[in-house]
Amino acid sequence: MKHWKETADVLSRVVRLAEAGRRAAVATVVRIEGSAYRRPGAKFLVEEDGRTAGSISGGCLEGDVREVALEVMRSGAPRLLLYETGGDDSSVFGLGLGCSGSVEIFVQSATSEETLEAAREVLDRLSGDRAFSVATVIRGNGAGRVSVLEPGGEGKAGRREPAEVFVETLQPPPHLLVFGAGDDAIPLCAYAADAGFRVTLVDHRPATLSRERFPAAFGLAARRLEETVAGLPAGPRGFAVVKTHSFAHDREWVRQLLSAGVPYVGLLGPRARGAKILAEIGAAAGERIFSPVGLDLGAEGPEQVALSIVAELLAVHSSRQPWSLREKEGAIHAG
Distances in whole angstroms, Cα of residue 329 to Cα of each of 37, 95, 286, 296, 325: 17, 27, 30, 23, 8
Of the pLDDT bands very low, low, confident and very high (cuts 50, 70, 90), residue 156 is: very low
Percent of the chain with pLDDT over 90: 77
Radius of gyration in angstroms for the set of CA atoms belonging to the chain, rounded to a whole number: 23
Is the pLDDT confidence value at 280 over 80?
Answer: yes
Distances in whole angstroms, Cα of residue 40 to Cα of each of 32, 141, 283: 7, 22, 42
110-119: per-residue pLDDT in tens? Answer: 999 989 999 9
For residue 263, the domain's CATH number is 3.40.50.720
Q: Contact 201/190 with Cβ under 8 angstroms?
A: no
Q: Contact 149/135 with Cβ under 8 angstroms?
A: yes
The tally of domains found in the chain comes to 2
**Per the domain annotation, does 181 fall within a domain?**
yes
pLDDT attached to residue 334 = 58
Distances in whole angstroms, Cα of residue 110 to Cα of each of 4, 7, 21, 247: 18, 12, 12, 51
Could you tell me the residue range of the domain that residue 150 belongs to?
2-170
Q: What is the largest CA-CA distance in the chain?
A: 68
At residue 85, what is the residue type? Answer: T
Sign of dihedral through CA atoms 79, 85, 91, 97?
A: positive
Residues 179 and 305 in one domain: yes
**Per the domain annotation, does 208 fall within a domain?**
yes
**Per the domain annotation, does 269 fall within a domain?**
yes
**Per the domain annotation, does 323 fall within a domain?**
no
pLDDT attached to residue 157 = 43
**Per the domain annotation, does 311 fall within a domain?**
yes
Residues 230 and 119 in one domain: no
163-185: per-residue pLDDT in tens? Answer: 899 999 999 999 999 999 999 99
Residues 161 and 228 in one domain: no
More confident position, 223 or 88: 223
32-54: per-residue pLDDT in tens? Answer: 987 777 899 999 999 999 999 99
Residues 251 and 103 in one domain: no
Residues 133 and 197 in one domain: no
Residues 199 and 160 in one domain: no
Q: Contact 293/268 with Cβ under 8 angstroms?
A: yes
- Those residues whose C-beta lies under 8 Å from the C-beta of residue 165, and which sit 6 or more positions away, are 135, 136, 137, 138
Residues 202 and 265 in one domain: yes
Residues 44 and 115 in one domain: yes
Mean pLDDT of all residues belonging to the chain: 90
Is the pLDDT confidence value at 158 over 50?
Answer: no
218-234: per-residue pLDDT in tens? Answer: 999 999 999 999 999 99
Which of 170, 186, 205 delimits the end of a domain?
170
Residues 182 and 292 in one domain: yes
**Per the domain annotation, does 335 fall within a domain?**
no
Task: Please tell me the number of Cα atoms within 13 Å of 196 on its side-chain side.
Answer: 17
Q: Contact 24/52 with Cβ under 8 angstroms?
A: no
Residues 67 and 120 in one domain: yes
Residues 234 and 147 in one domain: no
**Per the domain annotation, does 241 fall within a domain?**
yes
Is the pLDDT confidence value at 73 over 70?
Answer: yes
Residues 165 and 265 in one domain: no
**Per the domain annotation, does 332 fall within a domain?**
no
Query: What is the number of residues in the chain?
Result: 335
The rounded Cα 288 to chain-centroid distance in angstroms is: 23
